[in-house]
A and B are shown apart, each in its own frame.
Chain A
Amino acid sequence: MSEFASEFLDICLSLSLAMLGLAFFFTIARIIRGPTLPDRVLGLDMLTSVAIGFIAVIGIDTGRTLYVDIAIALGLVGFLATVAFARFILARGKTADDDERQGLPIMDDDPHRDTGSGNPAADTGEAAR
């Protein structure tokens, strides 16, 4: 029973390291591609949470629980960074990359395709022509 448990934990650790690495990769792909600034800020937020998960996994794997403090500090810094970026987005206002919406993928039966505004509440039902 005990050997099985430790073996199972080893497998789980390897699998979760692989999955967290995949998550890192996807998030960084979004940060590089991300058409607008809020996308990149969101990627940054996600990156800190994935890093905290990494710290937890490595803490279990190697027994170095010293890094838990760093996880707490990283959560604090990530939160403050996201709040500061949100304020910055507010203060910066509209910029040219608002129009990056054209880069969004278009659904097949998109009722608002021809009505330029992306706000369905603004167009009434007959607006789709």
Chain B
Amino acid sequence: MMESIVTILAGLLLLVGSAFAAIAAFGILRLPDIYSRMHAASKAGAVGSGMALLALALMADSLPVALRAIAAIAFFLLTAPLSAHLLAKAAYAVGYKLWPGSVLDEMPEVAITTRRSDTPARGDSPAQQSS
């Protein structure tokens, strides 16, 4: 009885998770600019694969496999917002435009910040500064 309930729960999780992933991919295909596409992809994509991994953790027959699946979920939830934020900020700083129909853009102009401390991109290399 208990086993059947867990199986049905795992099936529902699989269904909902893959529906989330499919809807996110549809959003990537249909939404008009980078930022709204990112809104579709990074939230729904993380939830989709997280739900599928949770179903795997429920159906796993040994504890280590379940724990690994849960660790993968935790890792994914930790990194997905980070990468989405970095990508959005990079795209905004470089100047990729919002969709013309966007209602509000509260963010001020961002300076491209790879210049000094991180990337020796534009001529001024760290070696020159230290000398």
Binding site for B on A (CB under 8 A): 1-2, 4-6, 8-9, 11-13, 15-17, 19-20, 22-27, 29-30, 36, 38-39, 41-43, 45-46, 49-50, 52-53, 56-57, 59-60, 63, 65, 68-69, 71-72, 75-76, 78-79, 82-83, 85-87, 89-94, 98, 101, 104-107, 110, 112-113, 117-121
Evaluate contact between B100 and A118: CB separation under 8 angstroms: yes
CB distance from B121 to the nearest CB of A (A): 4
Evaluate contact between B4 and A2: CB separation under 8 angstroms: yes
Which residues of B lie under 8 Å from residue A45 when comparing CB positions? 41-42, 45, 83-84, 87
Evaluate contact between B25 and A27: CB separation under 8 angstroms: yes
| B-side interface residues, number (CB < 8 Å) | 77
Which residues of B lie under 8 Å from residue A71 when comparing CB positions? 53, 69, 72
Within 67-107 of B, Cβ neighbours of A (below 8 Å) are at 68-69, 71-72, 75-76, 79-80, 82-84, 86-87, 89-91, 93-106
19 A-B contacts (beta carbon < 8 Å): A22-B22, A22-B25, A23-B25, A26-B28, A38-B91, A46-B41, A53-B18, A56-B52, A60-B10, A68-B56, A69-B68, A71-B69, A76-B75, A83-B86, A87-B90, A90-B112, A91-B114, A93-B94, A120-B105
State A26–B114 Cα separation when bound (angstroms): 33
Binding site for A on B (CB under 8 A): 1, 3-5, 7-8, 10-12, 14-15, 17-19, 21-22, 24-26, 28-29, 32-34, 37-38, 41-42, 45-46, 48-49, 52-53, 55-56, 59-62, 65, 68-69, 71-72, 75-76, 79-80, 82-84, 86-87, 89-91, 93-106, 112-114, 118-119, 121
